[in-house]
Amino acid sequence: MLSAIGIDLGGTNTKIALVSENGKIIKKDVLPTLNPFDKKEWVLQTDEVINDLKNSQRECNIAGIGIGIAGLVDPFKKVILQAPNIVGIDNWNIGEDLISKFKISVEIDNDVNVMALGEFLFGEAKKTKNAICLTLGTGVGGGLILNGDLFRGSNFMAGELGHITINENGPQCNCGNFGCAETYLGNGKIIKKFKQMMEADNSSILNGVKDIDPSKIFEAAKKGDYLSLRMWSEFAAHLATLLSGLVNLLNPDKIILGGGVSNAIDVFKGPLIEHMKKRTLKASMEKLIIIRSKLSQEAGVIGAASLVFNKKES
């Protein structure tokens, strides 16, 4: 069976998996990403893991290596242009080095494009003409499938969904802009906001709990905790502003939500859709499907492997 190596190269870990052509993980492994980054060492370690993965299978027809990187990349020159979370990796022609090492085709893209492509080939965006994939985590990012293809923009910068302004008078974002969606929807912002709410109202069952995070606020909301429900309702209102703009602009078939915060979709989807109905043009909203990512935890490596399968098809 045809397969591909999918590599999710992040600031903390490098996840490596052997992925079948139907998008299933055959076997996987994780390496800590060296800090500062050491290119030669990383190639050696990756080589070892790939050999282990190969050797664990009787038949193993590997079509190529696909890599998703948290940063700005040139997928055609196969160069990592800028990866703020991985010191010492900028401007690395990773494609060249890996092709000369493995004598196999190598494809790269940024982590969110890769996730969108994974959803497009194997997940909730399968055979969808126009899909917006939004990742809700520490940051807010996204990938666009437009006219049945990954849309990268003119210099590979498309899909910065977290840095669309939803309130021009809003708080300043890390990017310098004001009122970016991320300043309302990012993990840290949710926690900060909820702590402020708890200071003003001590009725929550999370009162006094340490290490508040979105998953705890989600669990509390499911138990009917008023303050947690209010938190998700406000989150839904801000998310609706962002998504409504995208719907009015791009008129997609589907919006797919991934990342840790999307675990709470059961609690925020109802108010999200109500808000969106008020903010969108009717014909664009009617048939829209909003759904949680199917690949979730594995989206990074499956998406990375998708780069190889997508290339073979095109």
Which pair of tokens denotes residue 150? 């990954």
Of 266 and 274, nearer to a copy of itself (C-beta) is 274
Under a CB-based contact definition with an 8 Å cutoff, are residues 194 and 170 in contact?
no
CB of 247 to a copy of itself, least distance (A): 8
CB of 84 to a copy of itself, least distance (A): 12
Of 130 and 138, nearer to a copy of itself (C-beta) is 130
Residue type, 137: G
CB of 307 to a copy of itself, least distance (A): 18
> Can you give the binding site for a copy of itself, defined by CB under 8 A?
72, 81-82, 129-130, 144, 146-147, 149, 151-161, 163-169, 175-179, 237-238, 241, 244-246, 248-253, 278-281, 283-284, 286-287
CB of 297 to a copy of itself, least distance (A): 26
Of 111 and 225, nearer to a copy of itself (C-beta) is 111
Q: Of 63, 2, 11, 4, give the one whose Cα is nearest residue 28.
A: 4
CB of 65 to a copy of itself, least distance (A): 26
Is the previous residue joined to 32 through a cis bond, with omega within 30 degrees of 0?
Answer: no
CB of 261 to a copy of itself, least distance (A): 19
Beta bridge partners of 136: 140
CB of 168 to a copy of itself, least distance (A): 4
- Counting every residue written for the chain, the total comes to 314
Of 62 and 246, nearer to a copy of itself (C-beta) is 246
Of 206 and 290, nearer to a copy of itself (C-beta) is 290
Rounded CA-CA distance 49/6 in Å is: 12
**Count of alpha carbons within 13 Å of 269, Cβ hemisphere only?**
13
CB of 51 to a copy of itself, least distance (A): 37
Under a CB-based contact definition with an 8 Å cutoff, are residues 10 and 70 in contact?
yes
Of 1 and 157, nearer to a copy of itself (C-beta) is 157
Which pair of tokens denotes residue 152? 């990268």
Q: What's phi and psi for 233, nearest 5 deg?
A: -70, -40
- CA dihedral defined by 260, 266, 268, 272, rounded to 10 degrees? 110
Rounded CA-CA distance 143/148 in Å is: 13
Q: What's phi and psi for 73, nearest 5 deg?
A: -130, 155
- Residue-by-residue DSSP string for 24-52: -EEEEEEEEPPSS--HHHHHHHHHHHHHH
Of 123 and 252, nearer to a copy of itself (C-beta) is 252
Of 5 and 116, nearer to a copy of itself (C-beta) is 116
